[in-house]
Amino acid sequence: MVGVDREDGAGGLDLALVAHLSRLARLGLTDAEMAAILPQLRAILAAVGRLQEADVSGVDATAQVGGLYDVMRDDQVEPGLSAGEALANAPSHEAGLLRVPAIQ
């Protein structure tokens, strides 16, 4: 596993990794934007590195608070949106379908 690099404190975050994150998250960052965001992210990660000091041995993870379980609905059909309403906010559609550029 790639751990948190203790020397580095910022998980080894570099430009190549920022480019990877930009692609994964479809952020489309330009080279200049990546260069600008890298030190900011590194500073945040260094601060967040504080987490590594906490003693969490034997502690369960909390994904949600409130302690709810088994919240379900009955299998019933309810009215939804008309096709017109569904498409009303779409920047491009054709014959009732959403139109997207070439997938390639």
* Binding to another protein, residues 14-73 (CB under 8 A): 17-18, 21-22, 24-30, 33, 37, 40-41, 43-45, 47-54, 56, 59-66, 68-73
83 binds another protein (CB under 8 A): yes
Cβ at position 65, least distance to another protein in Å:
3
- What interhelical angle do 31-48 and 15-24 show, nearest 10? 100
1 binds another protein (CB under 8 A): yes
Among 7, 31, 32, 102, binds another protein (CB under 8 A): 102
Kindly give, in sequence order, each residue whose CB lies less than 8 Å from that of residue 38, ignoring residues fewer than 6 positions away: 13, 14, 15, 18
- SS3 for 93? strand
- SS3 for 12? coil
